[in-house]
Amino acid sequence: MSDIINGNGHGNAESSGESSKAAGSIGIDPVTYNHSMNLTNWIFNVGYLHQDWADVHLTFFQSGLKAHRIVLARSPYLAHLMRNVAPGSTIHLNFADENINQESVHIALQHLYSPSHNLINPTNARSILATSHLFGGVPELVHHSYELIKSSISPQNIIDLIQWVSQSGDIRSSSSANGYAKSGSGNISSDDNWLEGESRCGEWTNRLKDDIVNYLLHQLPSSYPPSSMTTQPEITSIFSQLPYELFKLILENKQFPFGSMQERFSYTKKIISSRKKYLPSGPGGMEESVVLAFKGSDQGMEIHISRKPKKSRHLWKVEG
């Protein structure tokens, strides 16, 4: 826990004095400001660091914290757990969502005592988003985690992020290998609920879905010369692994840059061929196709991507 605490960065008396001058310059009473800062620092140091005057003991994973009900009650989730528990009791926190880990719980609890959003980084942002969304009462952590995940989207992590946001809101009653579900074979799920269904972190997951669409439509193509975009193995690999509904949304969208509709059609056929190795095989599998359709003499052409169950092939035995 020391690594987490050391990153908090509480200021000394000199910096506090400078802050009070800054507060006064924007119309905040310096006395009130200093009183608030001193109280916050006292609660953090005495309550969180030294764990004095505690009236509840939280345990989680291989760690724990002697804490204070009045502070923890900022979190609706923790307030609910403490409602029928006598002061001085020990409460063990269990999390079925394996995005939540010991570090993310410590950071969320620390933030209830004093701002700790500076401890979020691209490595732990998803865990902290899941934890802070579950806890509630820490909007700064939720927002900062979201912004960091959004700003970190790249060709290297886009498929992994899509798989993460694709998990349903029922994640608390399920588990996964490394904090987010990953298909060991890299297969495209046949149960495609990417565009619909309950999200794991509510509106924040939905925002990330919008960010993913924007990235695929605009940011990813703009990072390559238009003339060579369709020959980039990186883009082909990404589109070959997209959930069907997302794949259809991006390739049919006219905002995705192509020189002509014929080029869009040819490229989509290429991607569909590449996607075959990621689609589940055997009974119940799906097959995808694309057609180039004429909208009318004055409206040009468009492509339509579709999928349907694979036809089963029966072998007939002929007896002579």
Phi, psi (degrees; rounded to nearest 5) at 234? -65, -45
161 token code pair? 């992020």
Spell out the per-residue pLDDT of the chain, length 320, in tens. 544 554 554 554 444 555 555 555 667 788 888 888 888 899 998 989 899 999 999 999 999 999 999 999 999 999 999 999 999 999 999 998 989 999 999 999 999 999 999 999 999 999 999 999 999 999 999 999 999 999 999 999 999 999 999 876 544 433 222 223 333 345 555 445 566 666 779 899 999 999 999 999 999 999 988 778 888 999 999 999 999 999 999 999 999 998 889 999 999 999 999 999 887 766 667 899 999 988 765 567 899 999 998 776 555 556 65
| pTM to 2 decimal places | 0.81
Q: Residue 138: inside a domain, yes or no?
A: yes
Q: State the Cα–Cα distance between residues 4 and 31, nearest whole angstrom.
A: 30
pLDDT at res. 246: 95
Q: Residue 295: inside a domain, yes or no?
A: no
The dihedral region occupied by 136, where left means phi > 0, alpha psi between -120 and 50, and beta the remainder, is left
Q: Are strands 286-296 and 63-67 parallel, antiparallel or unpaired?
A: unpaired
Q: Residue 194: inside a domain, yes or no?
A: no
Q: Residue 289: inside a domain, yes or no?
A: no
85 token code pair? 């528990």
Tally of domains in the chain: 1
Tens digits of residue pLDDT in 229-287: 888 999 999 999 999 999 999 999 999 998 889 999 999 999 999 999 887 766 667 89
Q: Which CATH number is 65's domain given?
A: 3.30.710.10
Can you say whether the dihedral through the CA atoms of 277, 278, 283, 288 is positive or negative? negative
Q: What is the CA radius of gyration of the chain?
A: 26
Q: List beta partners, residue 290.
A: 305
Q: State the Cα–Cα distance between residues 153 and 16, nearest whole angstrom.
A: 37
Q: State the Cα–Cα distance between residues 52 and 147, nearest whole angstrom.
A: 35
Q: Are 214 and 272 in contact (CB under 8 A)?
A: no
Q: State the Cα–Cα distance between residues 146 and 144, nearest whole angstrom.
A: 5
Contacts of 151 (CB under 8 A, 6+ apart): none
Q: Residue 300: inside a domain, yes or no?
A: no
Which residue, among 302, 221, 208, 304, has the nearest Cα to 256 in the 3D structure?
A: 221
Q: State the Cα–Cα distance between residues 187 and 281, nearest whole angstrom.
A: 10
268 token code pair? 């989509």
Which residue, among 161, 140, 142, 143, has the nearest Cα to 152 in the 3D structure?
A: 161
- Which range marks the domain in which residue 107 is found? 38-152
Q: Residue 286: inside a domain, yes or no?
A: no
Q: List beta partners, residue 300.
A: 296
Torsion angle of the four alpha carbons 259, 264, 265, 266, in this order, in degrees rounded to the nearest 10? 80
